[in-house]
Structure 1
Amino acid sequence: MRVLLTAIAAISAASPVWSQVAFDNIFSDHAVLQRDKPVKVWGTAAAGAQVNLAFASTTLSVTADAKGQWMATLPATKAGGPYTLTATSGASMATLNDVVMGDVWLCSGQSNMEFQTKYATNAYTEVLNSANPDIRFVTVERDAQPTERDHFAKPLLWRAVGPETTSDTSAVCYFMAKELQKTQKVPIGMIHSSWGGTTIQSWMSQGALRDLKTYDQGLEVLATYSRDQARAKTEWQAIMLDWWQANEPDAKQKAAWATRDFDDSAWDAITVDGFWEGAKPELAFFDGVIWYRTSVTLTAAQAKQAATIELGPVDDGDTTFVNGKIVGATESWNAPRTYAIPKGTLKVGANVIAVRAYDSGGGGGLWGKPNDRRIAFADGSKVALPAQWKYKVSAPLAALKSSPSTPWLATSGLTNLYNGMIAPFAPYTLKGAAWYQGESNVSQPAEYARLLPALIADWRRAFETPDLPFLVVQLANFGPVAKAPTQSTWAELREAQRQTVNADPKTGLAVAIDFGDRVDIHPTQKAVVGQRLALAARKIAYGENVVAGGPQLVTVGRSGADIVITFDSALATYSSAQAIGFEVCDAAKICRFATADVSGMVVTLKAANTPDAKFVRYAWADAPYVNLYSDQDLPAIPFEASVP
């Protein structure tokens, strides 16, 4: 059932434009509608008006409700076209031309799904030769909303791929669609709705998050935000300060780090002109909390004025202090910080600015231009902050519980992107969905194991298809190379993705562990990822008898001095007679590399059957090197498993 209009939309319903019959803004000329299923179409008209629809050989009538909304269900129609779809109400008519019946796929996620074809490997040749009227796409514009939207604010445009348009498509989605159109020989439609740097919580409905029982506090503040932003910000700052007190190691002692009198002479110096990863070799792969300190000298005239402090952006979050007093806190990797300094905070002489910066992955810390950092006074004068600060590591990410996310933030909030970018076109009839996301959740892999199944169930409800095929791209390799076995939240999140797919027969996994880039979180070889998604789709959504993925773990056992791992398909190794990347771990997850012999569908970890062997792992690192494949050239799926 479609959600009710928001208050804003309800007001719009009374406006003259809604007295004319119209299709919803997701429908346009050149649209693709789902073949072989009853298809919902909807729009607006005068309240209570009769709306007559004509499509192919079908005619039917529906009545707009009291708010001017109507919905109709077209009968199942075979692949083909083009068709004209018309809606008439009184003297008013709306027409959609060049509508075709085919398979419609929703492609969503964060930046690796948003990544456009024009930036992909071999893009020039691909785009130049891409013309195909049977592959069409529509892109949903970025829109974060604290409450569900019933429709898009303006019409979206369906377009066929070709030299003038393919550059703008999602590369992963395009290459998947290209492969499916070639194998299924029907029109393929792509609805692309993604946003870089976003967490999975942003893409879930409020109801789905409520069901998890751990997001209620944030959702309540979000509800306040939709009515009173200032009050919500005050409430959330108090919540976050409580979280810091409870979760930062030695928080009470570290409170002194913000004060004027604290002696920071033992702290290291850092030039703050970019992410801390590039400023200090020892911070190259650090995620967690770092404190910064600097000071400025003020005159009596300056100290008594009203003032603000401007810091530029801080990745991902900050708590900022002036002379030991909190002046502001924000969670956003790219929002410039500007905080009012309360009267009486500034002093004559030295004034200490301290910033507690929290980074959950990727770049971290104060990263804007040094000349954008200043204290600005009421009389218009300014005092620049130094480019060089002192810093001290407070805690690595592993030592912290996942920080609550400011609920109204577009990229890391709660339900905002579902509200603005999914709900407005549900329940558009789909063939399936493809999901490439997780990089922004690597700090919370255990929680992701709860969230991903909940997202899948949520979207199946929204699109009214309980068995909607759902394809997941497993995170690609990225980050530091491991010279020894190590803990890896990237590997843990991949395992959450694998287990989610294994538990749901209508899901598929596209493994990308061998086509990432250890120094670029946005690898450009998107064609392979799209082709692997298409393989998964052919098996899960189309029921074809194809090998849809690489070899997967089936059993683990002990055999004499060895540990034996069986897979579900024949194995092959590249560049070595042995497979690399296997580990054996004790109960505390202290691991060692293992020599791995390969024969048929079996990997034997030689001399690994020791009394302390409790777990085995494969490709367990942020950016592992792998050489174990199927004879179809598909990589073995990374895993962790207990040893019976």
Structure 2
Amino acid sequence: MKRRKINTNWYNLIFLIVLLLGHRGFAIVRLPALIADHLILQRDISIPVWGWGNPGEKISLEFDKKTYQAVTDANGNWSVKMDRHKAGGPYKMVVKGESNTITVQDILIGDVYLCSGQSNMERGIDRTLYAEDYKNSTNDQIRQFKVGKQASDTVRIDIKLYTGWQAASPQTLGNFSAVAYFFANTLQEKLKIPIGIINTSYSASLAEAWISREGLKDFPAFYDQPKNKSEQYNPMLLYNAMLAPLTNFAFKGVLWYQGEFNANRAYQYRTLLPALITDWRDKFKKPKLPFIIIQLPNYNKAVDVPQQSNIAELREAQAMASSTSFTALVTTIDINSNEDLHPKEKKPIGFRSALAAEKLIYGLNGIVTGPIFRSQTIQGNKIILSFDNTGSGLKALGTDHLKYFTIAGEDRKFVNASAVIINNNTVEVSSAEVANPVSVRYAWADNPQGVNFFNKEGFPAAPFRTDDWPGITKPK
């Protein structure tokens, strides 16, 4: 058989091409999942954009008639900071590498919020209760990016599971967080700018799952904790997969709705939630990143007698965390119309959260929350309570007497009390069963159904206690 003669010139050329391609790793320039069609970028800052390519690759980025240049580092990372922009759009972004071009269409600039927590942040809108809101939801100025449920033993650089940017409409609203949507809708109506929400939440998750390894340094027991088969119970794992890939992005603030599954360790939550806030601010390199904490609503079986409650203690821990700078607390103790862990009434939660943001972040003046306990004075068999944040005065809904006040003497045995408003910022509490009272508690229960203590602006008083006696979740 006659053998075919090989053309050595072609062979050498093919070998050279393969060698060169192998040296470049066949990589192409790429962007993170967040930077895609229909995204909203944060206004009034130097806007970060980042991605990956071959080491040493030259990258150009075109946006709003300006070109930015970058060169990837030894690990293939690149980033640029675009000029500050006012709210507006739509814009187009074109990113060019040495072997490919990416075009990102329909970009808006406005305010972007990171919305996180467990199932009450994750859950969608009740279509029966909010049928009209659902029907009238079309608004291109409100867009959500949904991070899918995922966990990782190591820190990831990008989101693997997600639903990309979607504008609000009856066709897409089923993918939206109900709380985040009503929050965004309230802000968008007031500010008249695009509002972006990035929903990264996981049902039944624990707070420690959302904190980085470095952020848990004051909780060494978490490092040695046996791995749980439910991934959302494991320290760091949700942070690694669902938050770390977002830390290069710029946000206006954070909306945090979590705590139900940490209630049995409420005393620990007093320090765990501030640790989470500090950790996120460190990772986002924004020490004043605003945090809006949604306090747990009323849930579980309602009872008429005083009770010890780990849920009440968790609410107290959330209130304590809100004393951290650049934070706000949203009280929801009056929201839930049933005993379920998941109140369907998400609209007032989103609305109150937006009001909290307006005051904390945008400088809104006025009263946006309910009465907050300030001090007590003991007068014989009565305790006089003083309150801040009373607005135009205190109010008892439906009756002259306030519900869910309890009182105790030195024996620490609480009984139901009579509580009446005596002026615009003062309440008198007493009981014939307690001759020498020392402490008062309000709404200290899992489900104080039908609380009626408000200010005249219509906001409920936050649960509180005047004592510091050890609770049921404090370690022995």
TM-score (norm 2): 0.89
Partner of 2:367: 547
Give the C-alpha shift of residue 423 in structure 1: 0.6
Cα distance in structure 1, aligned partners of 2:186 and 2:120 = 19
In structure 2, the CA distance between the partners of 1:155 and 1:558, relative to structure 1 (3 Å rule), is closer
Q: 1:633 aligns with which of 418, 436, 458?
A: 458
Partner of 1:536: 356
Cα distance in structure 2, aligned partners of 1:190 and 1:602 = 40
Q: Is the 8 A contact 1:84 1:96 kept in 2?
A: yes
Sequence identity of aligned pairs in percent? Answer: 35
Q: Is the 8 A contact 1:26 1:156 kept in 2?
A: no
Cα distance in structure 2, aligned partners of 1:80 and 1:608 = 63
Q: Is the 8 A contact 2:25 2:54 kept in 1?
A: no
Cα distance in structure 1, aligned partners of 2:282 and 2:361 = 18
Q: Is the 8 A contact 1:573 1:628 kept in 2?
A: yes
In structure 2, the CA distance between the partners of 1:121 and 1:434, relative to structure 1 (3 Å rule), is farther
Partner of 2:333: 513
Q: Is the 8 A contact 1:594 1:605 kept in 2?
A: yes
Q: Which moved further from structure 2: 96-105 or 611-620?
A: 611-620
- What SS is found at the alignment partner of 1:553? strand
Q: 1:209 aligns with which of 209, 216, 220?
A: 216
Amino acid at match of 1:631: K
Partner of 2:413: 590
Partner of 1:323: none
Instruction: Show structure 2 runs of 5+ residues with no match.
Output: 1-21, 469-476
Aligned pairs for 1:199-238 within 5 A: 199-218=206-225, 236=226
Give the C-alpha shift of residue 123 in structure 1: 3.4
2:428 equivalent to 1:600: no
In structure 2, the CA distance between the partners of 1:56 and 1:631, relative to structure 1 (3 Å rule), is same
2:249 equivalent to 1:428: yes
Give the C-alpha shift of residue 216 in structure 1: 2.9
Q: Is the 8 A contact 2:87 2:193 kept in 1?
A: yes
Partner of 1:522: 342
2:386 equivalent to 1:562: no
- What SS is found at the alignment partner of 1:81? strand
* Per-residue Cα deviation, 1:389-419 (whole angstroms, up to 9, x for no partner): xxxxxxxxxxxxxxxxx45631211111111
In structure 2, the CA distance between the partners of 1:157 and 1:521, relative to structure 1 (3 Å rule), is same
Give the C-alpha shift of residue 587 in structure 1: 4.6
* Per-residue Cα deviation, 1:483-538 (whole angstroms, up to 9, x for no partner): 2111011101001111111x223111111111124421111110010001001000
Q: 1:575 aligns with which of 378, 385, 398?
A: 398
Q: Is the 8 A contact 2:147 2:161 kept in 1?
A: no
- What SS is found at the alignment partner of 1:72? strand
Q: Is the 8 A contact 1:433 1:470 kept in 2?
A: yes
Give the C-alpha shift of residue 91 in structure 1: 4.3
Amino acid at match of 1:505: S
Partner of 1:481: 302
Aligned pairs for 1:357-506 within 5 A: 406=227, 409-501=230-322, 503-506=323-326
Amino acid at match of 1:615: S
Aligned pairs for 1:41-440 within 5 A: 41-117=49-125, 119=126, 122-153=129-160, 156-218=163-225, 236=226, 406=227, 409-440=230-261
Cα distance in structure 1, aligned partners of 2:338 and 2:206 = 21
- What SS is found at the alignment partner of 1:211? coil
- What SS is found at the alignment partner of 2:106? strand
Give the C-alpha shift of residue 606 in structure 1: 3.3
Cα distance in structure 2, aligned partners of 1:609 and 1:592 = 8
Partner of 2:444: 620
* Per-residue Cα deviation, 1:330-363 (whole angstroms, up to 9, x for no partner): xxxxxxxxxxxxxxxxxxxxxxxxxxxxxxxxxx
Q: Is the 8 A contact 1:563 1:607 kept in 2?
A: no
Amino acid at match of 2:360: I
Cα distance in structure 2, aligned partners of 1:15 and 1:515 = 61
Give the C-alpha shift of residue 120 in structure 1: 5.1
Cα distance in structure 1, aligned partners of 2:26 and 2:455 = 57
Q: Is the 8 A contact 2:380 2:436 kept in 1?
A: no
Cα distance in structure 2, aligned partners of 1:612 and 1:15 = 83
* Per-residue Cα deviation, 1:463-483 (whole angstroms, up to 9, x for no partner): 111111101111111112222
Partner of 2:11: none
Amino acid at match of 1:104: V
Amino acid at match of 2:370: G
Q: Is the 8 A contact 1:481 1:623 kept in 2?
A: yes
Q: Is the 8 A contact 1:560 1:609 kept in 2?
A: no
In structure 2, the CA distance between the partners of 1:622 and 1:121, relative to structure 1 (3 Å rule), is farther
* Per-residue Cα deviation, 1:199-241 (whole angstroms, up to 9, x for no partner): 11111111111233332322xxxxxxxxxxxxxxxxx4xxxxx
Give the C-alpha shift of residue 125 in structure 1: 2.3
Cα distance in structure 2, aligned partners of 1:76 and 1:482 = 54
Give the C-alpha shift of residue 83 in structure 1: 0.8
Give the C-alpha shift of residue 426 in structure 1: 1.1
Give the C-alpha shift of residue 116 in structure 1: 0.8
Q: Is the 8 A contact 1:535 1:547 kept in 2?
A: no
Cα distance in structure 2, aligned partners of 1:214 and 1:614 = 37
In structure 2, the CA distance between the partners of 1:15 and 1:132, relative to structure 1 (3 Å rule), is farther
2:32 equivalent to 1:24: yes
Give the C-alpha shift of residue 176 in structure 1: 0.2
In structure 2, the CA distance between the partners of 1:145 and 1:408, relative to structure 1 (3 Å rule), is farther
Q: Is the 8 A contact 2:147 2:162 kept in 1?
A: no
Cα distance in structure 2, aligned partners of 1:36 and 1:439 = 36
Amino acid at match of 1:170: S
Amino acid at match of 1:109: G
TM-score (norm 1): 0.66
- What SS is found at the alignment partner of 1:158? strand
